[in-house]
Amino acid sequence: MRFWIPVLILLLVGCARGAPELEEEDAAGSPCRGPGCVTEIPDAHAGDAGGDMGGGGDGGDCTTLWYPDSDGDGFGNAIGDGIAACRQPAGYVSSKTDCDDANPAVNSGASEQPGDGVDQNCDGMEVCFADNDGDGHRTPEAQTVLVQGDCVGEGVTGAAAPADDCNDANPAVHGAALELCDGIDNDCDGLVEPQGSCPRDFVANLGSNYLLCDANRQWTEARSLCQEYGSALVTVNDAQEDQWISQQMGNRGWGAVWMGASDGAVEGQFVWMDGSPVGYAAWRDEEPNDAGNGGDPGADCAARVGGQNPGWVDRSCADEYPFICESP
């Protein structure tokens, strides 16, 4: 009897304490007790991304897509599919708006640089400069135009185009244009035909200097241009000078040329620029006749014509012909 008493006491103490309990900690450091405790399960895509993409549970809720950001600008490559992962892999971002993932200056948040041929903000458009006359030159204050593709086409040009156009409505006017004798600042240097620029040299003949201008101008415009050069529309004093003018017309293919005679003051009384009356004359048959066809009150200006019936005629001063300036 004395033998069983100690054994009985040990059995009673063990029942009071209960069975020992298993204990461990999960990945977050919290106690995890019981036979149903599950530690962190790695994400199924961890091997694909090459980074730490572990997640909790069984990974079934890890559906966030991540896109490669090779240039490190914070914007993911717009080309290709992303990868699903529970955590952001190294070198990946959640956006998909980078149209050039090799250039950190190109992404959907970048500022567009006008006319450089690069779509910096990935909107499929390019900001170009207006070139309304299509001469390849833009004005310094040219407006910008939004186009698809590059700045090549009608009405636009790129940043490389010279900003030296002073008249974007005239393709013959820009910084590289040839200055003509037309009353226009063709080369945009702020000067209209400096003396000797139309053509570049005067032609000396018969003791006078002549400036033969190819530009077609109205008679009054031609007169004003000659005055700017310190000369006047040509005065023809004799047959020799008249023949020389005819030869110059043939050499240049001119069908007509303005002279300095007009009867605008008194109808039928032609005078030269200095007011002296016309002495020598080579009027064509039935000229002057107020331009014929029943008369034209505006036919007050004298021109020389070539062709099969050459000679002097009176024409409307609004007609446009080449002209000859003359100075001593």
CATH at 231 = 3.10.100.10
Q: Does residue 17 fall inside a structural domain?
A: no
Query: Predicted confidence band at 248 (pLDDT cuts at 50, 70, 90)?
Result: very high
Residue 13: per-residue pLDDT: 41
Q: Say yes or no: 81 and 161 in one domain.
A: no
How far apart CA 280 and CA 220 sit, in angstroms, is 23
Least confident of 79-83, 105-109, 191-195, 210-214: 191-195
Q: Say yes or no: 95 and 163 in one domain.
A: no
The residue-averaged pLDDT of 30-59 equals 39
The residue-averaged pLDDT of 28-44 equals 37
How far apart CA 17 and CA 300 sit, in angstroms, is 135
CA distance readout (Å), 196 to 27, 179, 225, 235: 93, 11, 12, 19
Q: Does residue 118 fall inside a structural domain?
A: yes
Q: Does residue 27 fall inside a structural domain?
A: no
Note the pTM of the prediction, 2 decimals.
Answer: 0.43
Helix boundaries (H) for the chain: 4-17, 46-49, 219-228, 239-252
Q: Which residues form the domain of 164?
A: 111-177
Taking alpha carbons only, the member of 300, 99, 285 closest to residue 218 is 300
Q: Say yes or no: 75 and 119 in one domain.
A: no
How far apart CA 96 and CA 93 sit, in angstroms, is 8
Cβ contacts of 50 within 8 Å, gap of 6 or more: 89, 90
Residue 190: per-residue pLDDT: 87
Q: Does residue 127 fall inside a structural domain?
A: yes
Q: Does residue 155 fall inside a structural domain?
A: yes
Work out the percent of the chain whose per-residue pLDDT is above 90. 37
Query: Does residue 215 register a pLDDT over 90?
Result: no
The residue-averaged pLDDT of 31-51 equals 37
The residue-averaged pLDDT of 103-123 equals 85
Q: Say yes or no: 262 and 299 in one domain.
A: yes
Q: Say yes or no: 286 and 313 in one domain.
A: yes
